[in-house]
């Protein structure tokens, strides 16, 4: 699996790289970023996947989350994938929350999205094979996190593949998409009107049905301007009903921005480091 180097920069003693490859899954060029901490010079290191939210590329969290300093300290690699396929010939929509930049971490089955919008398979199969075959990463020590749409992706993927992801957290996840306009719109477009296929992409439903075998960390801004779309209370209730170990923290005064993410990023990287050690 070949890739090309777009850029590499020194960061906190490690290397922040951006790479591009031709994806067989999406049928497009895909760009992703990998941060390797200094410890990667001496052997394989644990991995933390970071899935971004609506409108984002690999670059948003890479430049705004302030994660590299803490990843360097704890000896963890970071992977920042893109949020959707892109390019000429890839379906799109005028709305910011559908189409390019809004893949929702599902495999689309409906026209015109199905040919390229295969983000579930890309994130869980193709990209992992590429990075584990080419970087100093420990396949047996993977964690996953994300923000907003990416928090939705991180939680649903972790609960679907708990044997693979030894730790999971989320920042302001879209917590109950089957009951929100951030979910019903996209699932109808990508997966069709038959709601029977939606539930496996809803973290509240998955929490009720199966939960996660380890602890879960979720941070939510109490002043988030999108609370009615995120529906954090649904996931919190599901965690309580299941008696899911972990923490669900409402952070007073914080909104949905990357100022919120970067504030609590040290806690999340420490959380993953302790569980991936």
- Residue 218 has a pLDDT of 98
Instruction: Kindly report, residue by residue over 102-127, the tens digit of the pLDDT.
Output: 999 999 999 999 999 999 999 999 99
- Show Cβ contacts of residue 231 under 8 Å, excluding neighbours closer than 6 positions: 174, 175, 176, 179, 180, 204
- Residue 241 has a pLDDT of 97
- Phi, psi (5° rounding) for residue 26? -95, -15
Ordered domains of the chain (ranges, CATH):
4-276 (3.40.50.1820)
What's the mean pLDDT when you consider all of the chain? 98
Whether the predicted pLDDT of 247 surpasses 90: yes
CB 165 within 8 A of CB 137: no
- Residue 1 has a pLDDT of 79
Phi-psi region of 141 (alpha: psi -120 to 50; beta: other; left: phi over 0): beta
- What percentage of residues in the chain have a pLDDT greater than 90? 99
pTM beyond 0.95: yes
What is the distance between the terminal CA atoms of the chain, rounded to a whole angstrom?
29
Tokens matching residue 163:
């044997």
* Active-site residue list: 148, 224, 256
- What percentage of residues in the chain have a pLDDT greater than 70? 100
- Phi, psi (5° rounding) for residue 84? -170, 165
Instruction: Kindly report, residue by residue over 131-156, the tens digit of the pLDDT.
Output: 999 999 999 999 999 999 999 999 99
Average pLDDT over residues 210-229: 98
- Residue 192 has a pLDDT of 98
CB 175 within 8 A of CB 153: no
Whether the predicted pLDDT of 213 surpasses 90: yes
Instruction: Kindly report, residue by residue over 160-209, the tens digit of the pLDDT.
Output: 999 999 999 999 999 999 999 999 999 999 999 999 999 999 999 999 99
């Amino acid at each position: 699996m070949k890739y090309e180097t777009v850029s590499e920069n020194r960061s906190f003693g490690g290397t922040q790289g951006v790479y591009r490859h031709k994806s067989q899954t999406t049928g497009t060029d895909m760009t992703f970023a990998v941060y390797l901490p200094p410890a990667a010079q001496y052997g394989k290191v644990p991995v933390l996947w970071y899935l971004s939210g609506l409108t984002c590329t690999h670059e948003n969290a890479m430049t705004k989350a302030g994660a590299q300093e803490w990843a360097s300290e704890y000896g963890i690699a970071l992977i920042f994938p893109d949020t959707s396929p892109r390019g000429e010939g890839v379906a799109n929509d005028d709305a910011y929350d559908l189409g390019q930049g809004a893949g929702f971490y599902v495999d689309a089955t409906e026209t015109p999205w199905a040919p390229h919008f295969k983000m579930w398979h890309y994130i869980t199969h193709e990209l992992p094979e590429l990075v584990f075959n080419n970087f100093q990463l420990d396949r047996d020590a993977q964690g996953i996190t994300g923000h907003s749409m990416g928090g939705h992706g991180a939680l649903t993927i972790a609960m679907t593949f708990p044997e693979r992801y030894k730790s999971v957290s989320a920042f302001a996840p879209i917590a109950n998409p089957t009951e929100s306009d951030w979910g019903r719109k996209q699932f109808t477009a990508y997966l069709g009107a038959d709601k029977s296929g939606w539930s496996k992409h809803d973290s509240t439903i998955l929490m009720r049905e199966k939960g996660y075998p380890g602890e879960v960390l979720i941070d939510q801004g109490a002043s988030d301007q999108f609370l009615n779309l995120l529906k954090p209370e649904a996931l919190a209730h599901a965690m309580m009903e299941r008696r899911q170990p972990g923490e669900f923290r409402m952070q007073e005064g914080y909104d949905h921005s990357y100022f919120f993410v970067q504030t609590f990023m040290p806690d999340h990287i420490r959380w993953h480091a302790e569980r991936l050690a």
